[in-house]
Structure 1
Amino acid sequence: MQRPISTFAIAFAASLAAVATHAAEVKNIVIVHGALADSSGWKKATEILEKRGFNVTIVQQPITSLADDIAATNRVLAMQDGATLLVGHSYGGVVITEAGHNDKVAGLVYVAAFQPDRGESLLTLASSKPSSGMNIRETPDGEYLYLDPAAFAKDFAADLPQDETAFMAKAQVFASKQSFSAKVGDPAWKEKKSWSIVATEDRSINPDLERDMARRAGSQITEIAASHAVFISQPEKVADVIEAAARQSAN
């Protein structure tokens, strides 16, 4: 007669399966772009990562509210087959701090990004250590924010060609005030591995603030001499950090 499988045996088998899933190679990368720019700036880094064998998807979130952007990110995560590395630039760091709780997320990478703790918002963090570029403007209805086009090159992407920054200034994605003022809950970086890229010439986020947030979270830090648009001006170096994070997330 076949003996019944004990509850303990079932639980033990399930735990082994969970460990195996977590240890699986991370091949999926989901990127959440920041405010004042769209996902197109990630084209070069995406091509580099795809040549290295990764499946890359970029969230084109609306930046209408933090809740909307988290929902947009979770929709993309739901489409991933297996463990995924979640990457956020600038305001995208706020989004991945919440969306990173998704079961498919194996690790978090912050690229010149805000990395809030519980009860913090982008605005409270930015005010704690102001950046050298302070040229944010309101739309006429007072509901959205944008970067003064005349200051875009200097404040956002000083290490990019002028014709490129001129177009980016015209094509920037406005951010709702609600997105910037929304406070986060328990951050995902408290339960998952994280990495942080500090852009040492950043004028949109104070580099010292980037360092402080990363140290507080226990993130592995890489410093790159670049503007806030480090993912565009230094795509190879950014891809190197993301690749290393994906490899280490599987351990």
Structure 2
Amino acid sequence: MSRTPTVVLVHGAFADSASFAAVVPELLGDGLDVVVPAVPNRSLIGDSAYIASVVRQIEGPVLLVGHSYGGAVITVAGVEENVVGLVYLAGYALEEGESLGELQGRFPDSDLATALVYRPYPVEGAEDGTDVYVDAAAFPAVFAEGVDPDLARVLAVSQRPLAGAAFGEKAPVAAWKAKPSWGLVSSADRTINPDVERFGYTRAGMTVSEVDSSHLVMLAQPKAVADLIREAVRATTA
């Protein structure tokens, strides 16, 4: 009897689980089991541990899908035994021992570099941390071009920030070394340089495809995203 994997959708920085709102109905319509956890966005190691804990509580195989920073998270969490494949959406495919900052630093900055806003947040028993946001005025053009303008404005003021410390944490493992992986490049991305995506995917030996989209590809091009996930589901159904 075939065992179809549960699809776990992992959002990235400056977005939340609702960023998959246009993709989830497509997958549910296929009869797939879907889980869309809220990522804390506090640290790469901590966020990966949280997603790994979600994966361990799912009976049967899991296909992990990570957008943006979520790609770095699934790179680490994907070593869980029941993970059968990884899908990267405009995401970071880190090498073992590599940080987000190191991978990005190989390539010219995107427009995001001049659109970031930094705000302190309290850390119990320690100095304040730093949250990173996208400037709300720049958000629609830099992060969500091609998304309905009214929705983009809502997303701009409801961002889930990423703790600045996460940019410097090194991935302790790289799950793509042992799991089949797919990578989707957003060729019109102004948040992550598309060459960062291409480099990481190619280095990992992934099945790579490209779509003319902004960074928030799940809302700008949901059918392309759903189709790629379907391809990965078919390939990883035992």
Q: Distance in 2 between matches of 1:46 and 1:79?
A: 20
Task: Provide TM-score, normalisation by structure 2.
Answer: 0.92
CA displacement 1:195-247 (0-9 Å, x = unmatched)? 00000110011111111111100000111111001111111110100011011
Q: Distance in 1 between matches of 2:163 and 2:111?
A: 22
Tell me whether 1:215 sits opposite 2:195 in the alignment.
no
The structure that has the greater radius of gyration is: 1
Asked if 1 retains the 8 angstrom alpha-carbon contact of 2:7 and 2:63, the reply is yes
Where does 1:1-251 land on structure 2 (aligned, <5 Å)? 24-129=2-107, 130-134=109-113, 135-140=115-120, 143-250=130-237
Q: CA RMSD in A?
A: 1.4
Aligned to 1:3: none
Deviation at 1:156, TM superposition (A): 0.3
Asked if 2 retains the 8 angstrom alpha-carbon contact of 1:106 and 1:249, the reply is yes
Asked if 2 retains the 8 angstrom alpha-carbon contact of 1:92 and 1:113, the reply is yes
Q: Distance in 1 between matches of 2:25 and 2:176?
A: 27
Higher helix share: 1
Q: Distance in 2 between matches of 1:193 and 1:65?
A: 25
Q: Which moved more, 1:69-78 or 1:205-214?
A: 69-78
Q: Distance in 2 between matches of 1:154 and 1:124?
A: 25
Deviation at 1:142, TM superposition (A): 5.8
For the residue of structure 2 that corresponds to 1:128, the secondary structure is: coil
Q: Distance in 2 between matches of 1:234 and 1:91?
A: 18
Q: Which moved more, 1:196-205 or 1:156-165?
A: 156-165
Q: Distance in 2 between matches of 1:64 and 1:56?
A: 24
Q: Distance in 1 between matches of 2:37 and 2:168?
A: 21
Aligned letter for 2:229?
I
Aligned to 1:12: none
Asked if 2 retains the 8 angstrom alpha-carbon contact of 1:59 and 1:72, the reply is no
For the residue of structure 2 that corresponds to 1:94, the secondary structure is: helix
CA displacement 1:25-77 (0-9 Å, x = unmatched)? 32310011000011101012011001111100012011111222112212221
Q: Distance in 2 between matches of 1:240 and 1:88?
A: 15
Q: Percent identity?
A: 39
- In the TM superposition, structure 1's runs of 4+ consecutive aligned residues that sit over 2 Å from their partners are 24-27
Q: Distance in 2 between matches of 1:193 and 1:216?
A: 13
Task: Provide TM-score, normalisation by structure 1.
Answer: 0.87
Aligned letter for 1:77?
V
For the residue of structure 1 that corresponds to 2:214, the secondary structure is: coil
Structure 1: gaps spanning 5 or more residues: 1-19
Aligned letter for 1:225?
D
Asked if 1 retains the 8 angstrom alpha-carbon contact of 2:89 and 2:185, the reply is yes
Aligned letter for 1:131?
S
Aligned letter for 1:120?
E
For the residue of structure 2 that corresponds to 1:184, the secondary structure is: coil
Deviation at 1:132, TM superposition (A): 3.1
Aligned to 2:125: none
Asked if 1 retains the 8 angstrom alpha-carbon contact of 2:5 and 2:237, the reply is no
